[in-house]
Amino acid sequence: MGVELLGLNIDNYTFEEALNVAKKLIDGQKVSQVVTINPEMFQTAEKDNNFANIIKEAEMVLPDGIGIKLGLKLTGVNVQRIPGIDFAKRLLQDTARSGVPVAIVGAKEEVITEAVKRLEREIGGLNIVYYHNGYFNDNQEIYNELKQKSPKLVLVALGSPKQEEFIYNAKKILNPALMIGIGGSLDVWSGSVKRAPKFFQKTGTEWLYRVVTQPSRFKRIFPTLPLFLIRVLTAKEKL
Ligand code: UDP
């Protein structure tokens, strides 16, 4: 069940449907990749064929933010936004009940240590078998350690496109697992970065809150979203 946007396929699930599919993939026979896609990633995919290919081969591609929802709306398709941070949290909560082994890779050392501490305190039964900060030079070392621990759920927070590449390259190496890129989620879970208040989350305007509270983000977000929407409209006209 998917919709196409600028040459990439995006899954059109409700939050609960996506959770169920992800849980099945956790029990699957291979490494599966979940991408939570945003307009910046479309920009990267346009310039970088390898990255586009990673998204095309991903087992799940979820519409993370309001940008993708708006883009799809312009082509006449309605999808439910699935914020990666909420999706990953629910996966942790739901799989903790059956003791699924979890690994987390990414963020600064003090951030991941604090995030792990808080997650373990908050989620009963959570079985984190491995974690490592996101500042390493040799991917192979981390793959080796992951392979040894055989987690079934792996959260990777290296920012995009690093995390998608890290997961893609792990596909041929690791034992069956579900791997998901979670961007800045560890910064939020550790308490180092505040999540936008509920109002912004519900209205899909978290980006606005972030731009105002972290003005350095303005440069990153501002041209991307309008340019992305213009590209969607131009592509639509060509059809
Ligand atoms: N990060 C990392 N290693 C790197 C680069 C980034 O672990 O080499 C971490 C960074 O500390 C942050 C996360 O990746 O916790 C996401 O960064 P950012 O907010 O820039 O990514 P976004 O979610 O906006 O893609």
Question: DSSP for 25-50?
Answer: HHTSSSEEEEEEE-HHHHHHHHH-HH
> 3-35 pLDDT, tens per residue?
999 999 999 999 999 999 999 999 999 999 999
Average model confidence (pLDDT) across the chain: 94
Atom number of ligand 1 nearest to Cα 105: 7
pLDDT at 49: 97
Residue 157 near ligand 1, beta carbon < 6 Å: yes
Instruction: Count CA within 13 A, CB hemisphere, residue 181.
Output: 29
Burial string for 108-136 (b: 16+ CB within 10 Å, else e) reads eeebbebbbeebeeebeebbbebbbbbee
**pTM, rounded to two decimals:** 0.94
DSSP one-letter code for 174 = S
Average pLDDT, integer, range 45-71: 96
Average pLDDT, integer, range 123-141: 97
Distance from residue 178's CA to the centre of ligand 1 (Å): 20
Which of 132, 142, 158 to mutate to test ligand 1, by most ligand atoms within 8 A of the CB atom? 158
Residue closest by Cα to atom 4 of ligand 1: 158
Tell me which of 52-66, 205-219, 221-235 is least confident: 205-219
Q: pLDDT above 70 covers what percent of the chain?
A: 99
Average pLDDT, integer, range 207-236: 84
Residue 164 near ligand 1, beta carbon < 6 Å: no
Distance from residue 157's CA to the centre of ligand 1 (Å): 6
Asked if 204 and 65 touch (Cβ cutoff 8 Å), the reply is: yes
Residue 239 has pLDDT above 70, yes or no: no
Atom number of ligand 1 nearest to Cα 108: 11
pLDDT at 204: 83
Residue closest by Cα to atom 5 of ligand 1: 158
Phi-psi region of 214 (alpha: psi -120 to 50; beta: other; left: phi over 0): beta
For the four alpha carbons of 94, 3, 206 and 113, in that order, the dihedral sign comes to positive
Query: Parallel, antiparallel, or unpaired: how do β-strands 127-132 and 31-37 relate?
Result: unpaired
Atom number of ligand 1 nearest to Cα 38: 25
Distance from residue 148's CA to the centre of ligand 1 (Å): 25
Atom number of ligand 1 nearest to Cα 163: 14
Residue 43 near ligand 1, beta carbon < 6 Å: no
CB atoms within 10 A of CB 48: 13
Distance from residue 60's CA to the centre of ligand 1 (Å): 21
Which of 113, 131, 187, 192 to mutate to test ligand 1, by most ligand atoms within 8 A of the CB atom? 187
